[in-house]
Amino acid sequence: MTDSSSHKEKMQAQQTKHRAKVKKAVDPERALVLVNTGNGKGKSSSAFGVIARALGWGKRVGVVQFIKGKWITGERQFFSKLPEPITWHTMGDGFTWDTQDKDQDTKAAAAAFAVAAEMMSNGEFDLIVLDEINIALRYDYLDVQAVISALEKRADHTSVILTGRDAKPELMEYADLVSEMLELKHPYQSGIKAQRGIDF
């Protein structure tokens, strides 16, 4: 058997298995919960990629940022230039090591979560990104059961993406999709500062 015919045979077998799996898959008739976590880069970037995909299908999108504060980012500047800008709330006070005030960080997280919970339940959005909410959970600025309860009360058609490292086990158990970004190499470890258009 030639390499070409062997390859074709393998691909046909793979195609058959894939089609059988697709045939068995069902529509859950509800929106999904996705968690992007891990110590590597790309958690928020992946979520913003899904935003672009949702907007391409005419979906209504909202973002609540829990940590980044007044930090100017390329993604927010880009999405703000769209003919119909997405609903965007940046409600954090900045990185936790900069604020150094747990009471203030807890209040900021609670305020952001109140906005997020309303957005999830009001039925106005098809996709909501809760950017860096896992950090707020990591430092116990928010209660994970309260977050899961709000997710359970979301509108049936509202998917939610929660980003940030160190996602709580309970949240990962509840989610439909959990992706872990693994850092293998990072320019910061070589003393290279964050790059505009790449890192923010």
Q: Which of 119, 106, 121 is nearest to 67 (CA)?
A: 106
**Predicted local confidence at residue 98, as pLDDT:** 55
What b-and-e string marks burial along 110-140, b requiring 16 or more CB atoms within 10 Å of the CB? eebbeebbebbeeeebbbbbbbbbbbbbbee
Write the pLDDT tens digit of every residue in 83-123.
887 999 998 665 554 556 788 989 999 999 999 999 999 99
DSSP for 50-73, please give it. Answer: HHHHHHHTT--EEEEESS-TT---
**Check whether domain 30-190 has CATH 3.40.50.10860, yes or no:** no
- Give pTM, 2 decimals: 0.90
Burial of 94 (0-12, 13-18, 19+ CB in 10 A): middle
Sheet holding 61-65, edge to edge: 87-90, 61-65, 127-131, 159-163, 33-37, 177-180
**Predicted local confidence at residue 64, as pLDDT:** 97
pLDDT by 10s per residue, the chain, length 200: 678 888 888 888 899 888 988 888 887 889 999 999 999 999 999 999 999 999 999 999 999 999 866 778 899 999 999 988 799 999 866 555 455 678 898 999 999 999 999 999 999 999 999 999 999 999 999 999 999 999 999 999 999 999 999 999 999 999 999 999 999 998 888 899 989 888 88
**Predicted local confidence at residue 18, as pLDDT:** 86
**Predicted local confidence at residue 146, as pLDDT:** 98
**Cα-based distances in Å from 176 to 30, 42, 83, 134, 173:** 11, 19, 32, 16, 8
d(CA 150, CA 129): 14
